[in-house]
Structure 1
Amino acid sequence: MLSTIIVDDEPIVIDIIRKIVSQNLLELNIVGHALNLDDAKKLINKYRPTVLLLDVEVGNRESFELVKDLDYPHEKIFLSSNREYAYNAFMHNAAGFVLKPFNKEELINTLTAALAKIKSNSQLPEPAGGQKASKDFIAVSSFDSYEIIKLNELMYCTAEGKYTHFKLKNGRKILSSRHLGAYSNLLEHNKSFFRVSRSHIINFDFVIRIIKKDGLQCELSDGTIVSVSRRKALEFNNYIRLEDYS
C-alpha cells in the first residue's frame, strides 16, 4: 500500500476524502492528516508519504511552500476552489489538480491517474545479495515529452529547485520538469551512480580525479568539479574504499 497524507484546513473535506479513498482506492493507506502546514511538514518528515493530497490555501499560507524542497520520489495532487492555481500546481509537478467542490468520480479518476504514474515510475527492488539492479536507460520527463537517456552516456545530474539538469558526455544538456529525488533511487540502482550531495548525482565512470580540498571533490572528464557533502563523505569513502582523507 502507498502511504498517503491529506492536508486541508477544513475537517469535513478531510473526512470526505478519507471515505472516498477507503471505499474505492485500497492501494492508498492514509497515514495521517493535517489542518495546517506546520503539522503537515511533521507528517512528511515522519512518513515520507508517496501520495500527498494538498489543499492549496491552508490558513493564510499556500501548500506550494510545503513541497518545493521535497527530495524523495512522491506524487502530489492539489485541491482548490480557485482554478487560477492550476497552472502553479502543474509547475510544481502535480500529478493532478482538483477543483473544489469536487465530486467522487473526479477525485477517484485523478488519484487513479496518479497511481498509474507511480507504477510506471516504480523502481526495481534490490535483489538478494546486496547487488544493485542494472538498467541501461532512464526515461526523463521534460515539459512536453520523455527523453530516453542511456546511462553510459549520462555524466551527472544537478538539482535546480524543483527541476533537474542532466549532462551527457556529448555535451548535451536536458532539463527535466521533475526534482532530483524522483531520479535518485532509479539511478542509484546502477552501481556506477552515486549521490554525492543533495544537489548532485554523478556517474563514477566519468570521474578522473578525486581532489582532497575542503573535504572531497570529484573532477569529471569534462572538467566539472563536484563536491562531496560532509554528510555523504563516509558513505562515499566506503563506496570507493578511500582511506582517511582528513
Structure 2
Amino acid sequence: MINAIIIEDEKSSMEYLLSILKKNHPNITICGWASDVDAAVALITSKDPDIVFLDIQLNDGSGFDVLDRLESSMPFEVIFTTGFLDYKERAMDYFAFYYLNKPVQEDEIKKVLNMYELKRSAFDMRKYQAFKNQLESKNHTITIFERNEYISLKFSDIIYCEAGGNYTHIYNTKGKSLLSSKHLKKIEDIIDSTDFYRVHRSFLVNLTHVKEFTRDGLLVMSDGNEIIISIRNRKKVVDFLTDYMEK
C-alpha cells in the first residue's frame, strides 16, 4: 500500500482528488488532509507518507513554505498540483517533477502515479531548491544540471545556445559553455523571452548580444563568435533583426 497526504486549501478540490483516488487507485491510502502551512507540516511529520499531493498556492503561504519547514531529508515524493498553465508547468516539466494541472483529470493522475510506481523515488532537495529559485527569479534565469550540480544562469548572461543532437551547448558571458541535457526546442520553451530568437535550426541567440549582422546572413556575437544564417531563412532573420535593432 501507498500512504498519501493531500495539502489543499480548497475543500472541493481536495474532495474531488480524493474521490478519483478512491475510485481508481485502491492501493493508495489517504492518511489525512491539511489546508494551511502549520497543519501540513504537522501532518506530514506525524504520518510519514510515501506521497504528498501539494498545492503550490495556499491561503496562508505556499507549498514551498511547507517543504522549507521540513527536514532537509524527505523520504517521500511530492506531486505538485497547480492551476497555473504557463511557466510553472514548463519549469516542473524541465525539472522532471510529478505534477497535476487543475482541474485534475483522471487520466493525468493515472499517468503520474504510474511514473511514481516505476521510480518509487524520494524527493530530490537539490532539484527542488533549483526549481524554487528559478520560479522566484520571475522567469529571468535558467538552471542547468551539469557535472552533478545545478547551475543558475541569468537570461541576460546567455549569448547563444547551440543544438548538439539531444543536448544543447549554452554559451555565456563568462566565456564558458554549459551542456544541458535538454534539446534546443525545450531550452527555447523554457526561456520564452522576446530577446531570444531562433536564427537557425541549430542556434537560439540572445538578440541583445548581437553586435553586428550583414545582409549575407553573418551574425557577430558579443563574444566574437560568428553564426551563419541558413540561406533559406536569411531574409526573414535579417528583416527581423533589422526591425529589432531599430526599436
Query: TM-score scaled by structure 2?
Result: 0.46
| Structure with more helix by fraction | 2
Q: Which has the larger radius of gyration?
A: 2
